[in-house]
Amino acid sequence: MTLPRRALLAAPALALARPAAGQARPFRIVMILFRGWEEACDGFRDYFAARRIPVELIVRDIGQDLGRVPAVIAETRAIRPDLVYVWGTSLAIAVLGPWDAPDPARHLTDFPVVFNIVTNPVGNRIVRSHDAPGRPVTGTEYIAPVEVQMRAMARYRTFTKVATTFNPNERNSLSVVRQMHEFLGGGVTELPVALDAGGRPDPASIPDIVAAAKRAGAEWLYIPPDTFLNDHRLALTQSALREALPCFSASERFVQFAEGLAGLVSRYYSVGAFTAFKAEQILRQGRAPETIPVETLTRFSFLIRMETARRLALYPPVGLLRVAETV
């Protein structure tokens, strides 16, 4: 388990911090994670270190198993933290429940919560609206509006047909695909990942899906913010490369740590820091979470993987290189 090491890593940073006047003990934050510690968590932790705010981070990872949520909730209640940090859309839905009808027995309702790496929190009923969450929960979004992503994709390479694949069990992916349809109309080919007998997505179906996308005449393969696909990002992007199909993704890992061609992304690290900024408003300034709007970063990075561009012989337009970040 990596958790003690993470806690240790945080400690030196905290040791440097000069405790704020009147703060008798560090703020206690329980971090409930969906798939382990990653860059967003780094950003969240480093923000406090940089601001010299003493915090005690208690990290709990469910390892993508939502069945472990009730135990974590029970433990959190026992710890009685000052704030709870929840990572990911599916986990946020499971931990918090709908904003207008949470079940106090199953959902966490007793503590202020910030969420991070969540897609469409309003559509997923985590909060009432962006401006007024309607409950002591606030947080950040990390996905650029779908329309903006589609335009960014067209700026690299104009298209009439785009295919997208996703885990049909993930509501965040479904929400993005729906918005794609609304914006592009009939030009979208939906290729959901096949489910096995247990209703779980089957990674073996990925190469076939990419081939199907190519056959459908797609000029791009769009990858929504999807945890299953993230876990199999190498298989997905390498299949696309074999089919000479460029991938455009909504989150950075498909480009940064796989073979995806491009993406309009918020850097996870920055989104994590932004989430910590909201946490600071709650902890230090005493603001009620329900008064803090749910926001997204206003600047996104246009990420381009040059090696993939070279292998596809699909180079970015020169104008795009003025603003793009390359990996």
Partner 1 sequence: MTPDRRLIGSVVTLAVLLLTLAVGFVSHAALRSFEAELKPELEREATIVGSIGAQTLQRALDLGVPFDGLSGLDEYLTTLLATQPGLAYVLLTDAGGRVVARAGEAQAEFRGLPPGSAPPDRGAVTRLLGRSYDAAQPLLANGRLAGWVHVGIARARLDTALGDMRWDVLVVLLVVLLATAEFLRFILSRTVSAPIAMVLRLQARLGAGDWTVRAPGDIGAEAGRVARHLNVLVRRMNDRWERLCWLAAESSAARRTTAILAEVGGKLRFGAATATEGLGAGAASARLPLFLFVFAEQLSTSFNPLHALALAGGDSGVLGAALPIATFVAAVALATPWGGEIVARRGPRAAMMWGILPAAIGHLGAALAPDVASFAVARAVCGAGYAIVTIACQVHLAQEAPRGRVARSLGGFTAAVMTGAVCGTAIGAVLADRLGFRLTYGVSMLVVLGIALLVWAQFAPGGGSAAPRAGLWRSARAAFAEPRFAVLVVLAAIPAKVLLGGFIFFLAPLELRELGLSQAAIGRNVMLYGLCMLPAIVVGAWIADRSGRGGLVIAAAGVLNGAGLMLPLWLAPDIALPGAIIATGVAQGLAAAPMLAIIPDIARGAVGSAAMLSFLRLAERFGSVVGPPAAASLLALGGGRQTMLVLGILSLATAIGYALALLFRSARREDPA
Residues that bind partner 1 (CB under 8 A): 306, 309-310, 313, 315-322, 326
Nearest to 86 by CA among 98, 72, 100: 72
DSSP string for 180-229: HHHHHGGGEEEEEPPB-TTS-B-GGGHHHHHHHHHHTT-SEEEE-S-HHH
Nearest distance from C-beta of residue 304 to partner 1, angstroms: 9
Q: How far is the CB of 149 from partner 1 (least distance, A)?
A: 19
Of 157 and 253, the one with the shorter C-beta distance to partner 1 is 157
Closest separation in Å from C-beta 56 to partner 1: 44
Rounded Cα–Cα distance for residues 42 and 275 (Å): 11
CB closer to partner 1, 205 vs 326: 326
Q: Based on CB atoms, which residue is closest to partner 1, 25 or 322?
A: 322
Alpha-carbon dihedral angle through residues 31, 34, 40, 46, given to the nearest 10 degrees: 30
Question: What's the closest the beta carbon of residue 316 comes to partner 1, in angstroms?
Answer: 8
Rg (CA), the chain: 20
Give the residue with the Cβ less far from partner 1, 212 or 309. 309
Q: Smallest distance, Å, CB 320 to partner 1? A: 7
Nearer to partner 1, 196 or 307 (CB): 307
* Nearer CB in complex with partner 1: 158/285: 158
The one-letter code for the residue type at 156 is: Y
Residue whose CB is less far from partner 1, 217 or 317: 317
Nearer to partner 1, 277 or 315 (CB): 315
Return the sign of the alpha-carbon dihedral for residues 69, 74, 79, 81: positive
How near is the Cβ of 301 to partner 1 at its closest, in Å? 16
Cα–Cα distance between 300 and 307 in angstroms, integer?
A: 21
Which of 106, 122, 20 shows the shortest CA–CA distance to 69?
Answer: 106
**Count of CB atoms within 10 A of residue 186's CB?**
8
Are the C-beta atoms of 77 and 110 separated by less than 8 Å? yes
**Shortest distance, CB of residue 321 to partner 1, whole angstroms?**
5
To partner 1, the closest distance from the beta carbon of 158 in angstroms equals: 10
Coil, strand or helix: which one is 53?
coil
Distances (CA, A) of 309 to 34, 188, 301: 32, 23, 17
**Contacts with 273 (C-beta within 8 Å, 6 or more apart), sequence order:** 43, 44, 46, 47
C-alpha 143/C-alpha 41 separation (Å) is 17
